[in-house]
Chains A and B, each alone.
Chain A
Amino acid sequence: MKVVEINDVYKTYNDTEVEVRAVNGVTLSFEKGDFAVIVGPSGSGKTTLLNLIGGLDQPTAGEIIVAGHRLSELKPSELIDFRMDHVGFVFQSYNLIPVLTAAENVEFIMSLQKWPKEKRIARTEEMLRSVGLADRHRSRPSQLSGGQQQRVAVARALAPRPQFILADEPTANLDSKSAETLLDIMEKLNREEEMTFIFSTHDVRVMKRARRVITLEDGRVVSDERTNHTA
């Protein structure tokens, strides 16, 4: 089942005197349960493509369809609701809410979605267990290591059961051990929850774990390969 369809999408920036085509005619689709990475050198358009898929930005041309929604047809306020209901974000620098505990961070999006409290608490406990942080549920982000913070961010992204997870360089700030642990957890969740993961990364460790590697250069897809790796 297709979760994301990207049809001939362009994204052009005119901020400077020179027109920059960050995404240049990309056509792709992602299936439910994909564990895919988008790789490429800096400036190849990875983050821009991720932003377009996540509804953070609008394409200059082409269309993106997620769970039946044509993103270009959504108003800004509808895009925010779309992101809340369908997309889970994992950012390079964790971006947890510093004044909330780990559990409250995980609960946050579900509370925006108005989940009943009991269900929210149960799901939060389940997710913190899944990422191995059940005993740190009361810790503030400042009391957690980078790897632990990123695991909380993954739990937050997955908790409301979005259509897919977009992870922009999730291991970039982590040491090897933390990165491996995080990838183990994401693989496990991909398998157990059938969650679609789309990464952008430079990290070879992430590429090795991926079952699909999409390579971008100058905003174009230059290769899209399925690997033999199984979770």
Chain B
Amino acid sequence: MITSIAWKNVWRNKTRSLTVIAAVTVGVFASVFALAAINSSIVQRIDSAVNEELSHIQINTKEFRSSSDILSTIPESEKVTGILRNTPGVTGVTGRIIVRGLASTPAGSAGVEITGIDTAAEKEMFTLDRKLIPGTGSYFGAGTRLNSAFIGEKLARELYIVRYILRPESFTDLSEKGVPPAVAEKLRPLEGVRYSTEKKLTEAYSALLTAKEIKKYGLLIREAAWSYREGSRIILSFLDVNGNQTGAAFRISGIYRTNNDFFEAMSVFVPDEELRKLTGMEDGAYHRLIARLGEDDLTDRVTPVLKEALPGLEVMNWKEIQVDLAMIADYINQIYAVFMVLILAALSFGIVNTMLMAVLERTRELGMLSAVGMNRRRIFMMIMLESVFLSVVGGFAGMAVSGIVIGITGHTGINLVKYSEGLEAFGYSAHLYPTIGADFFIILTVLIVITGILSALYPARKALQLNPVEALRGE
């Protein structure tokens, strides 16, 4: 009966209650959506780190990570591979040869980390092949030669392999993407001109267009002019096992684009057989073994098992390698909960105000309830339930709206390309796909109920202080 009365009391003054509920709804929606957007970039960053760059667990000698010594290979790597494969939770194992070197073209050069990989195994364990920029080749396809390299877009730019040319087909592309003919006409003087960097192209079209046109169509122009000559080569040079300078020309098999500029600029992948041949490393020798787990959540469980099984080697999981990211991943829900507490605390003032008004205008009724035998606990419970209903209805409505909007934008994405340079320099995607875990909604539900309870305390105290005789007189 108390619950029923409390629920009906909420709807006594519909306008007032709906105003508070709307405030809670908007507050919860805005905060949950903002958190989901932030979360998406973190989730995408973790996903990239695990699936494109690091995998779950890496094993190498204890000195390799700091020295990068070519001779610092894993002893008895076959035996170690066997241990890894037999460890519960491990679903894939592959070996890598890693050397530091220099990548160069006649136009430029850059320091890189050259990784020799088992291309078939890596394709099973990583998703980097899916990051291939269409039209730039393939990820070590069937017909790929041994001396092929898979490089990042950032490195391709540094080596001037990527150029910018507005060809006739570029104008067709611009027209299809909605660039007005008048704007395209202004760009005609640039047709066929080759620009070695994005910056030079930007300077060129900026001189022809208005500030508004640059802002609106700049990205589309840069994308249309992006050009890569298939079959380009780079020279990779590095030291062999004897400490002698060596190297070879590698044909670009494909160019990948990730959200991590640093990874794109540094990481060159080549078939391990080719690198083994050039460095003179023995068959079966690897600098690093990579273990892939069935689920991300197994990381913390499998790592200590492997550390115990491989005491002479350095066993590090992705969380230990990317400590900052791991810290965010581990405490993300707590961070969000603190944020939500602050938002709900602000919203609670509205609920307190509404409940206080509800109590003060029902003085006589509360006096009657006390007179006929409704004890303090029940009166407190009634007021508290009213407050909880207000916050829960608003909170659930906010969560429902958030769920729908997150569902839609999680599918379509939110484009932040305008700010992409800043974001991608830190390894974060410019396309956000808002997402948030179901467990966050559980925490949020608890917080909303607590908000309702806390918001009821002061109004309920006021109600309990009423003297039934005075209250019945309507004082």
Contacts and interface: CB of A to CB of B under 8 A. Distances in A.
B8 interface: yes
Contacts of B369: 97
Nearest to B472: A91
Given A56-B468, A91-B472, A112-B378, A97 B365 contact: yes
Contacts of B472: 56, 91, 95
Contact of A99 (B5, B370, B468): B5
Interface in A80-113: 80-81, 83-85, 89, 91, 93, 95, 97-100, 104, 107-109, 111-113
Contacts of B374: 80, 84, 112
A145 to B, nearest CB: 20
A161 B227 CA distance: 93
A103 to B, nearest CB: 12
Contacts of B375: 77, 80-81, 84
Contacts of B5: 97, 99-100
Interface string B268-301: 0000000000000000000000000000000000
Contacts of B373: 80-81, 83-85, 109, 112-113
B469 A80 contact: no
Task: Name the interface size band of chain A.
Answer: 20 to 34
B9 interface: yes
A45 interface: no
Nearest to A86: B373
Contacts of A84: 372-375
Interface-central residue, B1, B370, B378, by most chain A CB under 10 Å: B1
Interface string B454-475: 0000000000000011001000
A83 B8 CA distance: 25
Interface of A: 51, 54, 56-57, 77, 80-81, 83-85, 89, 91, 93, 95, 97-100, 104, 107-109, 111-113, 156
9 contacts: A77-B375, A84-B372, A95-B364, A95-B365, A95-B472, A99-B5, A111-B1, A112-B373, A156-B372
Given A89-B371, A100-B8, A113-B373, 7 more contacts: A56-B472, A80-B375, A83-B371, A84-B375, A100-B5, A104-B4, A112-B372
